[in-house]
């Protein structure tokens, strides 16, 4: 797996392959995979939903990301909204691109693939900011998100279906480049002109 190519992914057509990656990376059992499958397919029917995949030399999917513009009427948004409001961060739900899933197979992790996936998908978003939820702990995902400029907007956040608490994080777009450097075009983006606290 020398070369990994990141590009558009028809996630509806490859949902089982993607969920197999997620099952290994995130630790999902067959029942959770079946539930996720319905949720993913429902999300993909929503306006602006997009996915990218990372493929190895042999054509195998080793990672994927998908997301969509936030809509306050969506379930995820309605759960996190009261938590964000409490901290004065409610405005992050407007004009925001939500990262719904990001997963890389364990054997492919630590090689910059996760960073490439999330950076590529948000670079093509028209929204000035991005939000997501991640398990509230010192995980590789939380490290990655912080390196990209995401900061905590609310924690702990309790989803009705989850046993573990989450953190909601947000970042202005475009995301930071390696070394914490801003993207050269960052100053031109409206989200950075009025960079939220």
Ligand X SMILES: CC(C)(COP(=O)(O)OP(=O)(O)OC[C@H]1O[C@@H](n2cnc3c(N)ncnc32)[C@H](O)[C@@H]1OP(=O)(O)O)[C@@H](O)C(=O)NCCC(=O)NCCS
Note whether 55 binds ligand X by CB under 6 A.
no
Catalytic residue list contains 66: no
Stretch 119-178 residues interacting with ligand X (CB under 6 A):
134, 139-141, 143-144, 147, 178
One of 14, 60, 111, 183 touching ligand X (CB under 6 A):
111
> Residue with CB nearest ligand X?
114
First to last CA, the chain: 41
Q: Which of 66, 83, 145, 150 is catalytic?
A: 145
Interface residue with ligand X among 48, 69, 112, 196 (CB under 6 A) is 112
Q: Which is nearer to ligand X, 107 or 193 (CB)?
A: 107
Q: For residue 145, is it left (φ>0), alpha (ψ between -120 and 50) or beta?
A: alpha
110 binds ligand X (CB under 6 A): yes
| Coil vs helix vs strand at 82 | helix
Q: Is the dihedral of CA 128, 131, 137, 139 positive or negative?
A: negative
Residue 20, burial from CB neighbour count under 10 angstroms (0-12, 13-18, 19+): middle
Q: Which is nearer to ligand X, 33 or 188 (CB)?
A: 33
Stretch that binds ligand X, among 68-76, 87-95, 102-110, 189-197 (CB under 6 A): 102-110
CA distances from 45 to 133, 140, 159 (A): 21, 30, 23
Q: Catalog residues that contact ligand X under the rule CB under 6 A.
A: 25-26, 102-104, 109-115, 134, 139-141, 143-144, 147, 178
């Amino acid at each position: 797996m020398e070369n990994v190519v990141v590009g558009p992914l028809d996630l509806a057509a490859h949902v089982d392959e993607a969920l197999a990656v997620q099952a290994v990376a995130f630790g999902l059992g067959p029942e959770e995979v079946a539930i996720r499958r319905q949720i993913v397919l429902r999300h993909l029917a929503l306006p602006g939903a997009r996915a990218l995949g990372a493929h190895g030399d042999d054509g195998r999917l080793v990672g994927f990301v998908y997301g969509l513009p936030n809509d306050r009427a969506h379930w995820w948004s309605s759960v996190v909204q009261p938590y964000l409001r409490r901290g004065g961060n409610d405005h992050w739900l407007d004009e925001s691109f939500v990262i719904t899933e990001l997963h890389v197979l364990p054997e492919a992790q630590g090689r910059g693939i996760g960073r490439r996936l999330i950076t590529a998908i948000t670079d093509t978003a028209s929204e000035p900011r991005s939000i997501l939820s991640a398990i509230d702990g010192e995980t590789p995902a939380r490290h990655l998100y912080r390196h990209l400029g995401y900061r905590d907007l609310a924690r702990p956040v309790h989803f009705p279906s989850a046993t573990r608490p989450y953190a909601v994080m947000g970042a202005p777009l475009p995301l930071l480049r390696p070394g914490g450097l801003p993207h050269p075009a960052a100053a031109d983006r409206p989200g950075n002109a009025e960079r939220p606290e």
